[in-house]
Amino acid sequence: MIGLTLLENIKEKAKQLKKHIVLPDALDERTLKAGRKIVDEKIAEITLIGDEEKIYSLAEKIGVNLSGIRIVNPLKSEKLSDFAHIFYNLRKHKGISFEEAKETMKNPLFFGAMMVREGMADGSVAGSISTTADVLRAGIQVVGLMDGISIVSSFFLIVFPNKVYSFADCAVVPNPTAEQLADIAISTAINHKKLVGEEPIVAMLSFSTKGSAQHEMVDKVIEATKIAKQKRPDLIIDGELQLDAAIVPEVAKRKAPDSPVAGNANVLIFPNLDAGNIGYKMAQRMAGAEALGPIVQGLKKPCFDLSRGCSVEDIVNVVAINCVMGQT
């Protein structure tokens, strides 16, 4: 199965990269079990963030040995004051006081994100007990957006027996502008290559193919395609394309004979969250694809969100993906 092979390949890449990942949701037993597995399998170095007494107590209760895993308590860290000053300078234009900045830095999500920003860690993974909004807020406010990218978004790796697609955005941005849609396409193309190891072929999806319909929703996709091509002329990106013209060569020959995508798209960019969320769930539930994600993208360094219903294995997999996406 290509899905199993893909995850194994990602884990092998992660082992070679020897990254250091912080886990701010350290008072969740799934996090502790995942941390143990990640270190044992040499996928990454792990630092848990939180109250060490509570973490050790939970670990003892569930029988997890934390040897070889670091713990940082923001409240006792010698870095708290430095981090508070950095955060204050980042956010003072929003009216934040230094005391508010210091209180914010006591939060494991924000402290962990600051460790990533300052190069003390390579990435952060949270969300098993934290909300998506809180995880993304810490990433955006502390780590910041990737240069040239205007939006934090997400993508899924959609794994079929003989092919892997990247679908975006299926989880974060409800109704992106043309500029945001272009940046979602560029981010997803970059990360598809990092994780899957093949050249991205990007289709900007619509209910129209090359002028077959006129509507303001189609206009947005056409404009997004132009912007994406201007920003990254080195990438194969085309639109607007219906799904069949994007992924079926025979249909592409009839509907879009001049398209460089030519029915061979492996990166599918949906026009809005309705389409993206429905699309990935149809692939997963009706076509039997494995859906890996959502994977957060668009930040300068990877700070990932987990589903609160995630398993220990999900956390291990997401940490491995975090390591590989963090490579330059």
Q: Are residues 124 and 233 in the same domain?
A: no
pLDDT at 1 over 50: no
Q: Are residues 51 and 79 in the same domain?
A: yes
The model's pLDDT over 176-191, given as tens digits with 9 standing for 90+, comes to 999 999 999 999 999 9
pLDDT at 263 over 70: yes
The model's pLDDT over 293-307, given as tens digits with 9 standing for 90+, comes to 889 999 999 999 988
pLDDT at 328 over 80: no
The range of the structural domain enclosing residue 197 comes to 153-291
Q: Are residues 48 and 125 in the same domain?
A: yes
pLDDT at 3 over 60: no
Q: Are residues 63 and 191 in the same domain?
A: no
pLDDT at residue number 326: 85
The model's pLDDT over 53-62, given as tens digits with 9 standing for 90+, comes to 999 999 999 9
Residue 8, burial from CB neighbour count under 10 angstroms (0-12, 13-18, 19+):
exposed
Select the more confidently predicted residue: 107 or 5: 107
Averaged over 2-26, what is the pLDDT?
90
Say what angle helices 312-325 and 2-17 make with each other, to 10 degrees. 60
Averaged over 117-143, what is the pLDDT?
94
Q: Are residues 158 and 54 in the same domain?
A: no
Averaged over 267-292, what is the pLDDT?
94
Q: Which residues pair with 21 in a beta bridge?
A: 46, 123
Select the more confidently predicted residue: 161 or 33: 33
pLDDT at 28 over 50: yes
The model's pLDDT over 286-295, given as tens digits with 9 standing for 90+, comes to 999 988 888 9
Averaged over 141-153, what is the pLDDT?
93
| 65 token code pair | 């040995």
pLDDT at residue number 2: 57
Q: Provide the number of structural domains found in the chain.
A: 2
Averaged over 251-255, what is the pLDDT?
95
| 50 token code pair | 């939180």
Q: Are residues 55 and 184 in the same domain?
A: no
Q: Are residues 122 and 62 in the same domain?
A: yes
Q: Are residues 166 and 200 in the same domain?
A: yes
Q: Are residues 91 and 204 in the same domain?
A: no
The model's pLDDT over 211-231, given as tens digits with 9 standing for 90+, comes to 787 899 999 999 999 999 999
Question: Residue 135 is part of a domain; what is its CATH number?
Answer: 3.40.50.10950
Question: Residue 166 is part of a domain; what is its CATH number?
Answer: 3.40.50.10750
pLDDT at 115 over 70: yes
Strand segments, DSSP code E, in 191-269 are: 201-205, 236-241, 267-269
pLDDT at 80 over 60: yes
Q: Are residues 287 and 308 in the same domain?
A: no
Q: Are residues 161 and 83 in the same domain?
A: no
Q: Are residues 91 and 170 in the same domain?
A: no
Contact 119, 301 (CB under 8 A): no
- Between CA 267 and CA 247 the distance in angstroms is 10
